[in-house]
C-alpha cells in the first residue's frame, strides 16, 4: 500500500508519535527548556495586571491617592513592557526551534527517499512524496511554534488565573466558572471533529499535489490527444473535495467560537448580577468586580485558544504520522558491505535468476550467462522480453527473487549499494537532466571533478563541438529536464557523465533508439570510446549498433533463447536471424 493511502490513527493525540517527534528536539534541548521557562514566566505574569488594576481602583480612585496612582500606573506600564519582551522572546525561540527540527527531519526524509528502490516510486505518486517532504514537514514546525509550548503556557495561565480568583474572592470565582463545564464539553466535541477534518484536508492536499505534478509533467500528452477539457474536469473534482474538506474545518470554527463568546458573556452577566449585590453588601469591592471581569477574559480566551492550539497540534500529529510512514517504509536497497575492493574488475555471472515486479508474474525466468572482464555484451529482443529488467536488478534498482548474481565472484547483495552504484554506470534511453548548467549536470556537483577533466571527457566522447556552440558553454542552463537540448545532445551529456565517473561496468539501455541517423553515427563513436577497456552491457533494438559485440544474448518472454556472436547467430537461422531480416532485408 502506498503512503498516500495509509490512514492515520483515530487518536486525538498520539503520545508515542509525539515522543518520536520530540527526539528531534534533543540537539536543542537547552533551548527547548529555556523557551519553556519563558512560557511559564509569561503565564505567571499575566494575572498580575488585573491584580494591579484592581488594587489601583480600590486604593487610588475609590479612595483618592494621586501619588500612589502614578506609581501603580508606572508599575503597570513596566509590567506590560516585560510581558512584551518575554512574549517576543518565547515566540521567536519557539519558531527557531520548530524550523531547526523540521530542517533535520526533512534531511532524514530526503535521505530515506533517495535510497528507496524504484518499486516504491512505481507505487507512490511523486506529488504525494513532495507533500510529505515539504508541506507536511512544514506543518510539524507548528507543533513547537504554536502547539505544545503554547498549550503548556495556556494551561499554566488558566491554573494561575483560577487560583488567584479563588484566593481573592471564592464566591465570585464560583459564579465565574459556572459555564466552564459546558465549554469543556464543547471544546472536546470540537477537538474530535476538527481532527477528522484535518485528516481529510491533508489527504486531499496530497491528491491535489500528485495530480498537478503528474499532469504538468505530462502536459504534452494531454495536449496532443486533446484531453484538456476532460483533465480539467478531473482537476475540478479533486479541487472541490479539497475545498469541502477545508470548509468542514471552517464550519467547526464558525460554530465553536460563537459558543465560546456566548459562554464568556454568560459568565460576565452572572458576575455582574451576583457581584453587584456583593459590592452593595460590602463583601466585595468595585476593584474586585472590575478585576474579575478582566479575569474572565483571561479565563475564556486561553480556553478558546487551547482549541486552536489543539487544532495546530493535531495537524502536526497528522502530518507527523504521514512523514513517519515514509521513514518507516522498508523499501531501501540494502547490502552487507562485504567483499569491497577499491575497484571492480567487471566480471558478471547470472545463475538461474528469476525476477518478478509483482508476486510471481515472472519477467525473467531462469536466466544464466557469464560476462568476462572487458567484454562487450549485447541484449536484444522484442519489447517486454526482459532486457531492461536485467539491468534493473544488476544495478539493484529492484531485488531479484531467486538465483544468484555474482560480480567478481561475490554475491551482488554483499556489496554496499553506494559502492556498487559508483562501479556500475548506466546510460538510459530517456536521459534526465536537472535545471542547471551543463557542467553541473555532468559532474552532479561533485567537487572532486575539475572543468579540465570534463573538457577532456567531452573531447573523447565527441561532444565538445556542440558544447562550444552554446551561448555559455559549460555554464549553459539546460532548463528543466534538459528541455533546451536535443535528444542526441542530452544523450552525449549522459555519455560524458558516465565516462567521467569511470565505472568498471557500463550499461547502455537503448542509447540510440530515439535519435536520427546522423546523431546515431556520432553516438556510435562515443559508445566505442567509453566502452574501451571496460565490461559493457548494451541493450539495443537497432542491430547495426551491436554487431561487433563479443556476445549477443537474444531474449524472448523473459528467457534466453539464443547466445553467441553476430555471425554465429546468423548461421543458426533462429530468433536473431529473424530480427536481423526484419531490419535489413
Do residues 214 and 126 make contact, with C-beta atoms less than 8 angstroms apart? yes
Q: Are residues 379 and 431 in the same domain?
A: yes
Q: Are residues 457 and 568 in the same domain?
A: yes
What are 530's three cell numbers? 567509453
Average pLDDT of the residues of the chain: 82
Query: For residue 54, what are the domain limits?
Result: 3-328
Q: Are residues 321 and 384 in the same domain?
A: no
Convert the pLDDT of each residue in 481-516 to its tens digit: 677 787 778 888 888 888 888 888 888 877 655 555
Complete DSSP assignment for 337-365 = --S--SS----EEEEEEEEESSTT-EEEE
Establish if 339 belongs to a structural domain: no
Q: Are residues 30 and 105 in the same domain?
A: yes
3-state SS, one letter per residue, for 55-122: HHHHHHHCCCCHHHHHHHHHHHHHHHHHHHHHHHHHHHHHHHHHHHHHHHHHHHHHHHHHCECHHHHH
Convert the pLDDT of each residue in 321-345 to its tens digit: 888 888 888 766 666 665 566 777 8
Strands 410-411 and 424-427: unpaired
H or E, element range at 505: strand 505-509
Establish if 30 belongs to a structural domain: yes
CATH number at residue 151: 1.20.1560.10
Residue 584: the pLDDT is: 67
Q: Are residues 315 and 360 in the same domain?
A: no
CATH number at residue 452: 3.40.50.300
Nearest to 341 by CA among 534, 504, 533: 504
Q: Are residues 315 and 355 in the same domain?
A: no
Boundary-marking domain end, from 328, 360, 392: 328
For residue 222, pLDDT beyond 90: no
Number of domains in the chain: 2
Establish if 340 belongs to a structural domain: no
What are 231's three cell numbers? 483533465
Q: How far apart are CA 466 and CA 487, in angstroms?
A: 13
Nearest to 395 by CA among 426, 365, 367, 358: 426
Q: Are residues 84 and 209 in the same domain?
A: yes
Residue 144: the pLDDT is: 79
For residue 566, pLDDT beyond 70: yes
Establish if 342 belongs to a structural domain: no
Greater model confidence, 532 or 51: 51
Do residues 428 and 482 make contact, with C-beta atoms less than 8 angstroms apart? no
Q: Are residues 318 and 363 in the same domain?
A: no
What are 200's three cell numbers? 481529510
Greater model confidence, 316 or 81: 81
* Most trustworthy range by pLDDT among 135-144, 163-172, 497-506, 511-520: 163-172
Q: Are residues 394 and 448 in the same domain?
A: yes
Establish if 335 belongs to a structural domain: no
Q: Are residues 158 and 216 in the same domain?
A: yes
Establish if 251 belongs to a structural domain: yes
Q: Are residues 293 and 426 in the same domain?
A: no
Q: How far apart are CA 397 and CA 355, in angstroms?
A: 12
Q: Are residues 444 and 544 in the same domain?
A: yes
Establish if 512 belongs to a structural domain: yes
For residue 8, pLDDT beyond 50: no
Give the contacts of 190 (CB within 8 A, at least 6 positions apart). 252, 255, 256, 307
For residue 78, pLDDT beyond 90: yes
How does residue 351 score in pLDDT terms, banded at 50, 70 and 90?
very high
Establish if 336 belongs to a structural domain: no
Cell 471533529 belongs to 193
Amino acid at each position: 500500500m502506498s503512503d498516500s493511502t495509509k490512514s492515520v490513527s483515530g487518536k486525538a493525540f498520539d503520545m508515542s508519535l509525539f515522543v518520536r517527534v520530540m527526539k528531534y528536539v534533543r540537539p536543542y534541548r537547552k533551548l527547548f527548556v529555556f523557551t519553556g521557562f519563558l512560557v511559564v514566566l509569561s503565564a505567571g505574569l499575566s494575572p498580575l495586571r488585573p491584580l494591579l488594576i484592581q488594587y489601583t481602583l480600590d486604593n487610588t480612585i475609590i479612595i483618592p491617592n494621586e501619588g500612589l496612582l502614578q506609581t501603580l500606573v508606572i508599575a503597570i506600564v513596566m509590567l506590560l513592557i516585560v510581558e512584551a519582551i518575554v512574549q517576543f522572546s518565547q515566540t521567536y525561540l519557539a519558531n527557531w526551534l520548530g524550523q531547526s527540527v523540521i530542517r533535520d527531519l526533512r534531511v532524514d526524509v530526503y535521505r530515506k527517499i533517495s535510497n528507496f528502490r524504484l518499486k516504491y516510486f512505481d507505487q507512490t505518486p511523486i506529488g504525494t512524496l513532495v507533500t510529505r517532504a515539504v508541506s507536511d514537514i512544514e506543518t510539524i514546525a507548528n507543533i513547537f511554534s504554536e502547539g505544545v509550548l503554547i498549550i503548556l503556557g495556556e494551561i499554566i495561565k488558566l491554573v494561575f488565573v483560577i487560583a488567584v480568583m479563588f484566593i481573592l474572592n471564592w464566591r465570585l470565582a464560583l459564579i465565574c466558572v459556572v459555564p466552564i463545564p459546558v465549554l469543556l464539553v464543547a471544546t472536546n466535541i470540537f477537538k474530535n471533529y476538527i481532527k477528522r477534518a484535518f485528516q481529510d484536508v491533508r489527504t486531499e492536499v496530497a491528491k491535489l499535489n500528485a495530480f498537478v505534478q503528474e499532469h504538468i509533467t505530462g502536459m504534452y500528452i494531454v495536449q496532443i490527444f486533446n484531453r484538456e477539457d476532460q483533465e480539467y474536469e478531473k482537476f475540478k473534482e479533486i479541487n472541490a473535495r479539497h475545498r469541502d474538506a477545508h470548509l468542514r474545518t471552517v464550519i467547526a470554527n464558525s460554530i465553536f467560537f460563537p459558543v465560546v463568546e456566548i459562554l464568556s458573556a454568560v459568565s460576565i452577566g452572572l458576575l455582574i448580577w451576583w457581584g453587584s449585590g456583593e459590592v452593595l453588601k460590602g463583601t466585595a469591592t468595585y476593584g474586585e468586580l472590575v478585576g474579575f471581569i478582566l479575569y474572565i477574559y483571561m479565563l475564556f480566551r486561553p480556553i478558546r485558544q487551547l482549541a486552536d492550539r489543539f487544532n495546530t497540534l493535531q495537524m502536526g500529529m497528522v502530518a507527523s504520522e504521514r512523514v513517519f510512514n515514509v521513514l518507516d517504509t522498508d523499501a531501501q536497497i540494502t547490502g552487507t558491505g562485504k567483499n569491497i575492493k577499491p575497484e571492480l574488475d567487471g566480471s558478471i555471472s547470472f545463475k538461474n535468476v528469476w525476477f518478478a515486479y509483482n508476486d510471481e508474474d515472472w519477467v525473467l525466468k531462469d536466466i544464466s550467462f557469464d560476462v568476462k572482464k572487458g567484454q562487450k555484451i549485447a541484449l536484444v529482443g522484442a519489447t517486454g522480453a526482459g532486457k531492461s529488467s536485467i539491468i534493473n536488478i544488476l544495478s539493484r534498482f529492484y531485488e531479484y527473487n531467486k538465483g544468484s548474481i555474482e560480480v567478481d565472484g561475490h554475491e551482488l547483495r554483499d556489496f554496499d549499494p553506494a559502492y556498487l552504484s559508483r562501479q556500475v554506470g548506466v546510460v538510459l534511453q530517456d536521459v534526465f537532466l536537472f535545471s542547471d548548467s551543463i557542467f553541473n549536470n555532468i559532474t552532479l556537483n561533485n567537487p572532486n571533478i575539475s572543468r579540465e577533466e570534463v573538457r577532456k571527457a567531452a573531447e573523447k566522447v565527441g561532444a565538445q563541438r556542440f558544447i562550444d556552440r552554446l551561448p555559455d558553454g559549460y555554464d549553459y542552463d539546460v532548463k528543466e529536464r534538459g528541455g533546451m537540448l536535443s535528444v542526441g545532445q542530452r544523450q552525449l551529456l549522459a555519455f560524458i557523465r558516465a565516462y567521467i565517473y569511470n565505472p568498471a561496468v557500463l550499461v547502455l539501455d537503448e542509447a540510440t533508439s530515439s535519435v536520427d541517423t546522423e546523431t546515431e553515427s556520432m553516438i556510435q563513436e562515443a559508445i566505442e570510446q567509453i566502452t574501451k577497456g571496460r565490461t559493457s552491457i548494451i541493450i539495443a533494438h537497432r542491430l547495426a549498433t551491436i554487431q561487433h559485440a563479443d556476445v549477443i544474448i537474444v531474449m524472448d518472454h523473459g528467457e534466453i533463447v539464443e547466445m553467441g556472436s553476430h555471425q554465429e547467430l546468423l548461421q543458426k537461422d533462429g530468433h536473431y536471424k529473424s530480427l536481423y531480416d526484419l531490419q535489413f532485408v
